[in-house]
Amino acid sequence: MNFEYQVEGGDFSHAGSTSSAVKRIMKQLGVDPAIVKRTVVALYEAEVNIVAHAYRGVISVDLDEERIRIVLDDEGPGIPDIGKAMQKGYSTASPEVREMGFGAGMGLPNMQSNMDELKVDSVVGKGTRVEMTNYFTAKNE
Amino acid sequence: MKREEFLRLIKGKVVSGADCEEQDVEHVFASDLMSDVLTIKNADNLLLITGLCNMQTIRTCEMAEVKVILFVRGKKVTEEMKELAEENEMLLIETDYSMYRCSGILYQAGLPPLY
C-alpha cells in the first residue's frame, strides 16, 4: 500500500495531520500498538521538522505485511552538519518553533530510537531526505 | 486516583471529554516541552500537566497515547483543540493553579512520577 501526503512549511495548525492519518491506517490494519506508537512518534517529529525548517515537503508511506517504510522529502535550507543535528540538544529552531514545544534538539535522536532504520541525507540550499523503516516482526525489538 | 478526586485536589474544570471512558490516573508527567512528552515509553493512565496550550499539545498527546491533559495557570483550550481531543477521546482540564502547585499536590496525594 502506498500513500502520499503534502506538508507546508510554517503551517503549524496542520502539523501532525499526516502522522495522525498514518496512525489511523496502521491501527485499522491491526499493527501491534507498540510499533504503531514508535512509528508515529518518529513520523510526527519528522513532520514537525518539515513544518519548522523547510518550505514544503512530501511524505511517502509504503506499507506491507512486514514493514512500514516512510520517506520524507523536503525543499528547504538543508542540514549543513548531519552529525551535529543527530546530537541530543543541538537545534537551529526559531523562537516560534520553541513556542510550539519543540526545538530542544531531541527530534532526530528521538526518531532514531523509535525506528529500526533511519537515514538522513541533505543538500544545503536544496533540502533534506529522511528515510525510515520499522519492521512488524520482533527481530529489532 | 479517580478523576473526581484529582479534579477536586487541583480545582480542575473539565472542558472537553467529560463523557469519555473514566480511567484512573496512575502516573504524572509535567512538561512544556513536547519532544520530552514524545519520549514517554508507556503513557497508560498518565496525566500530563502542561502550560503549553496549542494544537501541538493535543497532536503530541495523540501520538504519545496520553489521554488526560491538565492545562495550568488559566490557559484556555480553543475550540479547534477540543475537536481534536474529542476525536481522540481525551480528557482536557483547566486549572488556575501553577504547574509547581499541581505537581506538589498530586505528588503529595500519592501519584508517582514517571521518571
What is residue A13's predicted lDDT score, i.e. its pLDDT? 87
Q: Going by CATH, does the domain composed of B3-108 fall within 3.90.1150.10?
A: no
pLDDT band at A140; cut points 50, 70, 90: very low
pLDDT tens string A26-77: 999 999 999 999 999 999 999 999 999 999 999 999 999 999 999 999 999 9
Residues 78-117, chain A: which have Cβ within 8 Å of B? 99-102, 104, 106-107, 110, 113
User: Any idea where the domains of chain B sit in the sequence?
Assistant: 3-108
Which one is predicted more confidently, B43 or A3? Answer: A3
Domain annotation for chain A: domains and CATH numbers: 2-140 (3.30.565.10)
Q: CB-CB: which of B32, B33, B56 is closest to A15?
A: B56
Q: CB-CB: which of B38, B59, B65 is closest to A110?
A: B38
Q: Summarize the confidence of residues A16-23 as an average pLDDT.
A: 97
Residue type, A82: I
What is residue B43's predicted lDDT score, i.e. its pLDDT? 85
Q: Summarize the confidence of residues A15-21 as an average pLDDT.
A: 96
| Contact check, Cβ <8 Å, B38/A41 | yes
What one-character-per-residue DSSP string does B66-85 give? --EEEE-TT----HHHHHHH
User: Using CA atoms, how far apart are residues B87 and B89, in angstroms rounded to an integer?
Assistant: 6
